[in-house]
């Protein structure tokens, strides 16, 4: 609870912004869906067969998993708000169409007969009789769509559209229940508030409801138009994966680029869900730059026959040439830090047994009780490979969820854990990372990835971004991650402080 207040206190501005994004996304999608579905139902109300076909189509669209839909949309329309809105609209059309259609077609036939016999025009019949009679059904359709949209809109965070999903995804990723609760509770509150708003709208007369909707359309349209106009200068979009580290890095990129080239404006899009989303977005040109790890490039992005080298320089060269030949992408020089697997022990353990490197563990292997991530315990580049490379055999091994490993070592349940080199917990729990003195772990170095075309258009970017090459040590990164994800400082501030204190920015 205390943590929730702390986060609300320190990140209030960002949370409010996320709520705004969430409301914006949901409202625009809901309006577009209604504007598509209601007229469609009106047109098809007298064409039963076509209406059935349409119902089937919308139901099929509904069954596409939302993640798959987002993945499909990225190469077509890029990232951010547009694909999110398209996906949400696709989901919301069905309930609104279905309810409007059945509302219009289940009107008492004698009322229809009366309206016809009185010589009412098609338009008057629709506006004065049919739509008002179908209104309760239409409203309930819009309500269903709205609840669905607010829920699904949390996934928009995965492709850089922001919203409350950012907190839910971050919360899951970093095992931070406070963030998770903030995201989830705020989404639920939004759903309740919107539900009440829609009920209120449903009780208004037809004319008044129309006026309210028209006002909303004009407001949102005007806002979007305004943003379009003000966004007209050259902009680059720099994106990053989920978590504090990529967010710090992209803020560094932004500061450096904007400092060196005042004519370029940089948008940052943090907390993308998956590597493949980012890579697709880069391919389609909807983002311009993102930081990627050398190891990840070789493992999952390019096709390569050579097995990953244990030398960081070799790995980088391999990744760079594969990206160039297979995707025409430029991969600039990596930073100093490595974010690969490591082994960490408590400070007392290191002191007591004089352990500094992984080789040092061999003499005390009978005293080592390890807590490992299940993946690490099974993968070739994890414990099985490590055993062979060093000839190690620990006294006992427990596998546990990655997020609770650090708690286990802090509570003395185990005395050695695997981790990532830049995990902030290393600092938070006063751990010592053991040196991989036989270079067993494959190197994971971060470096900026972009299309070759971008560098051709803006060759000056190479010099600017290469200022970070060889900078930012593992300890630096750990400290910054600690400040952002444990102390809840703003990534932009932490990034700028680093650049200033290292003379990269004045």
Partner 1 sequence: MIEFKQVSKQYTEQLALDDLNLTIPTGDFFVLVGPSGSGKTTTLKMLNRLIEPTDGDIYFDNQRLIDYELRDLRLQMGYVLQNIALFPNLTIQENIAIQAESLGWPRKERVARARALLEQVDLDPDQYATRMPSELSGGEQQRVGIIRALAIKPKVVLMDEPFSALDPLSRKQLQDLVLQLHRELKMTFVFVTHDMHEALRLGQHIAVMRLGHIQQIGTGEEIIHHPANEFVRGFFENEQTPRPTTVQVLVDQGRGAATTMAATLPVTATVNDLAAALKQGPVVIGTASGNRTLTTADLLDYLAQTEVE
Using an 8 Å Cβ cutoff, are 466 and 155 in contact? Answer: no
Using an 8 Å Cβ cutoff, are 156 and 100 in contact? Answer: no
Give Cβ neighbours of residue 128 (< 8 Å, ≥ 6 apart): 120
Q: Which is nearer to partner 1, 82 or 129 (CB)?
A: 129
Cβ at position 115, least distance to partner 1 in Å: 8
Cβ at position 112, least distance to partner 1 in Å: 9
Cβ at position 127, least distance to partner 1 in Å: 11
> 3-class secondary structure for 33-46?
HHHHHHHHHHHHCC
Under DSSP, is residue 325 helix (H, G, I), strand (E, B) or coil?
A: helix
Q: Which is nearer to partner 1, 120 or 144 (CB)?
A: 120
Q: Token pair of 121, please?
A: 């025009």
* Cα separation, 392 vs 48, whole angstroms: 73
Cβ at position 35, least distance to partner 1 in Å: 23
Cβ at position 128, least distance to partner 1 in Å: 7
Distance of CA 87 to the CA centre of its chain: 15
Q: Which is nearer to partner 1, 104 or 364 (CB)?
A: 104
**223 is an interface residue for partner 1 by CB under 8 A:** no
Cβ at position 146, least distance to partner 1 in Å: 24
Strands (E), 159-252: 235-241
Burial of 129 (0-12, 13-18, 19+ CB in 10 A): middle
**How do strand 431-433 and strand 341-346 relate by DSSP bridges?**
antiparallel
Q: Which is nearer to partner 1, 9 or 123 (CB)?
A: 123
**207 is an interface residue for partner 1 by CB under 8 A:** no
Count CA within 13 A, CB hemisphere, residue 11. 26
Applying CB under 8 A, the site for partner 1 has a residue count of 17
Interface pattern 80-109 for partner 1 (x via CB under 8 A): ----------------------------x-
Q: Which is nearer to partner 1, 19 or 126 (CB)?
A: 126
Q: Which is nearer to partner 1, 110 or 230 (CB)?
A: 110
Cβ at position 117, least distance to partner 1 in Å: 4
Q: Which is nearer to partner 1, 68 or 114 (CB)?
A: 114
* Cα separation, 58 vs 38, whole angstroms: 13
Phi, psi angles (nearest 5°) of residue 272? -70, 145
**204 is an interface residue for partner 1 by CB under 8 A:** no
Footprint of partner 1 on residues 169-188 (CB under 8 A)? none
Q: Which is nearer to partner 1, 100 or 415 (CB)?
A: 100
Cβ at position 130, least distance to partner 1 in Å: 10
Footprint of partner 1 on residues 410-469 (CB under 8 A)? none
Footprint of partner 1 on residues 105-144 (CB under 8 A)? 108, 110-111, 113-121, 124, 128-129, 132-133
* Cα separation, 421 vs 350, whole angstroms: 17
Order across the sheet with 265-272: list the strands. 265-272, 235-241, 289-293, 446-451, 329-331
Under DSSP, is residue 397 helix (H, G, I), strand (E, B) or coil?
A: strand
Residues found near partner 1 in the complex (CB under 8 A): 108, 110-111, 113-121, 124, 128-129, 132-133
């Amino acid at each position: 609870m205390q943590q929730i207040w702390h986060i609300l206190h320190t990140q209030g501005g960002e949370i409010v912004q996320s709520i705004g994004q969430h409301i914006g996304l949901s409202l625009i999608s809901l309006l577009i869906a209604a504007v598509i579905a209601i007229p469609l139902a009106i047109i098809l109300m007298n064409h039963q067969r076509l209406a059935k076909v349409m119902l089937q189509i919308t139901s099929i669209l509904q069954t596409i998993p939302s993640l798959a839909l987002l993945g499909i949309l990225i190469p077509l329309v890029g990232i951010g708000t547009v694909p999110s809105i398209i996906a949400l609209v696709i989901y919301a059309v069905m309930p609104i169409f279905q309810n409007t259609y059945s509302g219009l077609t289940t009107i008492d036939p004698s009322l229809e007969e009366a309206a016809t016999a009185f010589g009412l025009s098609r338009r008057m019949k629709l506006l004065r009789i049919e739509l008002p009679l179908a209104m309760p059904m239409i409203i309930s359709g819009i309500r269903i769509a709205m609840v669905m949209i607010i829920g699904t809109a949390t996934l928009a965070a995965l492709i850089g559209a922001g919203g409350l999903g950012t907190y839910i995804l971050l919360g899951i990723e970093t095992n931070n229940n406070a963030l998770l609760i903030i995201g989830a509770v705020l989404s639920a509150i939004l759903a309740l508030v919107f539900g009440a708003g829609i009920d209120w709208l449903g009780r208004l007369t037809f004319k008044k409801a129309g006026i309210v909707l028209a006002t909303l359309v004009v407001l949102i349209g005007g806002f979007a138009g305004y943003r379009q106009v003000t966004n007209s200068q050259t902009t680059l979009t720099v994106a990053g994966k989920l978590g504090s580290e990529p967010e710090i890095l992209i803020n560094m990129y932004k500061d450096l680029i904007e400092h060196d080239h005042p004519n370029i404006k940089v948008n940052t899009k943090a907390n993308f869900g998956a590597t493949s989303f980012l890579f697709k977005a880069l391919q389609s040109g909807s983002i311009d730059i993102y930081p990627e790890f050398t190891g990840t490039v070789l493992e999952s992005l390019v096709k390569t026959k050579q097995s990953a080298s244990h030398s960081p320089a070799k790995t980088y060269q391999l990744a760079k040439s594969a990206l160039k030949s297979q995707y025409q992408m430029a991969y600039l020089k990596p930073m100093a830090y490595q974010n690969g697997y490591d082994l960490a022990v408590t400070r007392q353990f290191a002191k007591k047994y004089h352990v500094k490197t992984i080789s040092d563990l061999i003499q005390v292997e009978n005293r080592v009780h390890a807590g490992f991530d299940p993946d690490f315990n099974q993968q070739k580049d994890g414990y099985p490979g490590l055993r062979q490379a060093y000839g190690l055999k620990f006294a006992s091994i427990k596998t546990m969820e990655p997020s609770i490993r650090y708690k286990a070592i802090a509570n003395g349940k185990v005395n050695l854990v695997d981790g990532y080199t830049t995990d902030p917990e290393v600092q938070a729990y006063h751990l010592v990372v053991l040196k991989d003195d036989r270079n067993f772990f494959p190197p994971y170095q971060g470096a900026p990835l972009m299309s070759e075309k971008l560098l051709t258009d803006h060759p000056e970017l190479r010099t600017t971004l290469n200022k970070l090459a060889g900078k930012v040590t593992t300890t630096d990164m750990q400290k910054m991650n600690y400040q952002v994800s444990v102390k809840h400082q703003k990534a932009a501030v932490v990034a700028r402080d680093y650049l200033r204190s290292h003379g990269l920015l004045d």
